[in-house]
Amino acid sequence: MKKRSGELKVLVIEDNPGDFILIEDYLSEEHNALELQRAETFKSAKSLLKVPSNFDTILLDLSLPDINDTEILVKEILALSYGAPVIVLTGYTNKEYGVKTLSWGVSDYLLKDEISASNLSKSIHYSMERKKVQRQLYESEEKYRTLFDFSPLPMWVLDRHSLEFLSVNQAAIELYGYSREEFMEMTVRDLWAEDPDRIEKTVEENFHDFFTVKVKHHTKSGQGIYIDVQSNPIQFGGRQARVTLAHNITERLKAEERLKHSQQRFKALVQDGSDLISILDENFNYIYVSPSAKNILGVNPERIEGRNVFDFIHREDRERIENKIQYLGKKKAYQLPSYRYRDGNGGWRWLETIISDLRDDPAVNGLVANSRDITKFKVQEKQLRESLERYDIVAKATSDLISDYNIKNDVFQYSNAIYDTFGYTKDKIETSKQWWQDKIHPDDKERVIEASRGIHERGQKLLNIEYRFKCANGNYKYILDRSYVITDANDQPSRIIGSMQDITERRKYINAIERSNERLREIAWTQYHVVRAPLARIMGLIELLKNQRNNLDNIEEIIDNILNSSEELDKVIRKIANKTEEEF
């Protein structure tokens, strides 16, 4: 027989020297590198085995002088064997007895009478191989048990039919809060929080197969958790079972939910916002245009995307914008001056844009332009400017003094007529109300102040009043002051716009006319008396005539008197006519 290679280290526990020599011979036949150690008693065997010496095999004679109980002998030697196979050698022919030792854990059983070099060697090697395989199997099981027990993923094993828990790992215990003992009294159904029919169906349909399912479970404390289940059919202790991995995805779902909300919010802002948001590349080509383009510009975003921004900007405004954006990269964000932008209908919209440089942000990788439609505002601004220009022109064109009094700040502003009409140079003008009041003629002051009270105290909107206003040279000018009150949001007077018209010339005429009228009245009164006297006489004489028709004595006299009086009247009237001509 061919010699076996490799060193073989064997402990032979044998009291009989003949038997030992025989065994040594047999083994030497088969092995070159053989290291044999002999223990003659149980006691010496035990002391040898207490020192770790890595025997490949232990050959044990059951009839030793210091021990009678073979069961104790076998079990103690096995316990000290450190995994080395133990082969029992005996003279007994009782096979049953041999089988019994096998059940205690020995690797083989040989009858001394039947031992040969080859079957001893074969037995040793078979035992060693079997032991090796056993150890590997054990180690492998141990490995898998460790994987199961200490996996950070919750896992359990269920009976495939009843869904009872057969085993649970530490992570599952921690996740669900049940103790191992509690789990062993439960089925997995006790964990289900919703949809039991759906899960039941999935389990049933995949009785022999792998399946995954997303479920909601309750922990012992009643908290809902979302679990991604992966389940495989296995044999477990001879039972049809399945091993289940429970992946807790509650946090992930929450994060996904938050992300979804955040995306919805973003979408709402970008799509439905009143601002036009776009992303541009470095050359100002559109990469993205928000759907609000449709509302603001009346054009689909797809029609703009890919095109250059400057294609849409009014020719006259391009330079201003170009000047501004050449400094791109030096500042993170800046506001562009307002510009005109061609809309979908070929009209122009005024836009105001803030550019943010997000080229460094991988999520954007471009310039973000946030534009607002300010067309309405621009139109209003233009109207306001025109209105102000009109006001300026009117103020310049009229010789009236235009005043603007801010009530709250007590500040008067005067148009240039303050110099042209009243002679006040800029350094002489003060802005207070007091200054203005001091310029009013003392005889008019009380009346003007009383009238202006109508504005402040009685809600009067218009004031029309004449008074004398002092010029820089100390003379007074007659003015017609027409004031209009502007009220604030609370309907309180905030400003008074006044137009002071120089009516001195007119006033002079009126005064002259009034004087002239007075004189005329006096003249008329005197003339009336002068005329009335002869006329009264004539009337009296005629009355007499009427009553004296029968008394002819006096008629001659009466008629003479009438004649005289008429001539006198005629003279008077001629005189008046002449005098009137002289007067005018």
Does position 526 bind other proteins by CB under 8 A? no
Q: State how far Cα 195 lies from the chain centre.
A: 36
CA separation for the pair 35, 578 (Å, rounded): 180
CA separation for the pair 30, 37 (Å, rounded): 17
Let me know the angle formed at the C-alpha of 563 by 562 and 566, rounded to the nearest 5 degrees. 85
The structure tokens 């975003």 sit at 301
Does position 548 bind other proteins by CB under 8 A? yes
Q: Which of 16-24, 130-138, 506-514, 544-552 is the region at the interface with other proteins (rule: CB under 8 A)?
A: 544-552
Pick between residue 294 and residue 537 the one whose CB is nearest to other proteins. Answer: 537
* Residue 121: both structure tokens together: 């060697």
- Binding-residue total with other proteins (CB under 8 A): 18
Pairing of strands 476-487, 86-90: unpaired
Return the residues of window 156-195 that contact other proteins according to CB under 8 A.
Answer: none
Pick between residue 445 and residue 537 the one whose CB is nearest to other proteins. Answer: 537
360: which DSSP letter? T
Q: How far is the CB of 558 from other proteins (least distance, A)?
A: 8
CA separation for the pair 511, 21 (Å, rounded): 168
Q: Which of 172-180, 331-339, 449-457, 560-568 is the region at the interface with other proteins (rule: CB under 8 A)?
A: 560-568
CA separation for the pair 305, 367 (Å, rounded): 14
Pick between residue 1 and residue 552 the one whose CB is nearest to other proteins. Answer: 552
Residue from the set 99, 379, 449, 533 that interacts with other proteins by CB under 8 A: 533
Cβ atoms of residues 402 and 417 within 8 Å: yes
Does position 565 bind other proteins by CB under 8 A? yes
Pick between residue 432 and residue 554 the one whose CB is nearest to other proteins. Answer: 554
> For the window 469-508, what string marks contact with other proteins as x by the rule CB under 8 A?
----------------------------------------
* Residue 36: both structure tokens together: 């044999």
Pick between residue 48 and residue 530 the one whose CB is nearest to other proteins. Answer: 530
CA separation for the pair 38, 9 (Å, rounded): 11
Q: Which of 295-303, 361-369, 390-398, 553-561 is the region at the interface with other proteins (rule: CB under 8 A)?
A: 553-561
Pairing of strands 8-13, 34-39: parallel
Cβ atoms of residues 275 and 293 within 8 Å: no
Q: What DSSP element (H or E) covers 110?
A: strand 108-111
Interacting residues of 215 by C-beta distance below 8 A, sequence separation 6+: 192, 193, 194, 195, 199, 226, 227, 229
CA separation for the pair 234, 239 (Å, rounded): 8
Q: How far is the CB of 514 from other proteins (least distance, A)?
A: 22
Does position 536 bind other proteins by CB under 8 A? yes
CA separation for the pair 381, 378 (Å, rounded): 5
CA separation for the pair 214, 229 (Å, rounded): 6
Does position 540 bind other proteins by CB under 8 A? yes
Q: Which of 137-145, 328-336, 382-390, 561-569 is the region at the interface with other proteins (rule: CB under 8 A)?
A: 561-569
Closest CA to 340 of 359, 368, 360, 320: 320
Residue from the set 543, 567, 570, 583 that interacts with other proteins by CB under 8 A: 543
Q: How far is the CB of 553 from other proteins (least distance, A)?
A: 11
Q: Which of 248-256, 262-270, 380-388, 534-542 is the region at the interface with other proteins (rule: CB under 8 A)?
A: 534-542
Q: Which of 197-205, 302-310, 454-462, 537-545 is the region at the interface with other proteins (rule: CB under 8 A)?
A: 537-545
Q: Which of 66-74, 162-170, 454-462, 531-539 is the region at the interface with other proteins (rule: CB under 8 A)?
A: 531-539
Residue from the set 319, 488, 557, 583 that interacts with other proteins by CB under 8 A: 557
CA separation for the pair 498, 448 (Å, rounded): 13
Q: Which of 17-25, 120-128, 156-164, 536-544 is the region at the interface with other proteins (rule: CB under 8 A)?
A: 536-544
Pick between residue 254 and residue 532 the one whose CB is nearest to other proteins. Answer: 532
Residue from the set 33, 82, 528, 583 that interacts with other proteins by CB under 8 A: 528
Q: How far is the CB of 533 from other proteins (least distance, A)?
A: 5
* Residue 87: both structure tokens together: 């082969």
Does position 554 bind other proteins by CB under 8 A? yes
Beta bridge partners of 362: none
Residue from the set 234, 411, 462, 539 that interacts with other proteins by CB under 8 A: 539
Does position 532 bind other proteins by CB under 8 A? yes
Does position 529 bind other proteins by CB under 8 A? yes
Does position 564 bind other proteins by CB under 8 A? yes
Pick between residue 513 and residue 555 the one whose CB is nearest to other proteins. Answer: 555
Number of C-beta neighbours around residue 305 at 10 A: 15
Task: Give the strand order in the sheet containing 401-406.
Answer: 411-414, 401-406, 493-502, 476-487, 462-470
Q: Which of 126-134, 180-188, 449-457, 538-546 is the region at the interface with other proteins (rule: CB under 8 A)?
A: 538-546
Does position 537 bind other proteins by CB under 8 A? yes
Pick between residue 490 and residue 547 the one whose CB is nearest to other proteins. Answer: 547
Count, in order, helices (H) and strands (E) of the chain.
18, 21
Report the sign of the C-alpha dihedral through residues 293, 295, 297, 302, in that order: positive
* Residue 141: both structure tokens together: 């099981």
Which stretches of the chain bind other proteins, using CB under 8 A? 528-529, 532-533, 536-537, 539-541, 543-544, 547-548, 554, 557, 561, 564-565
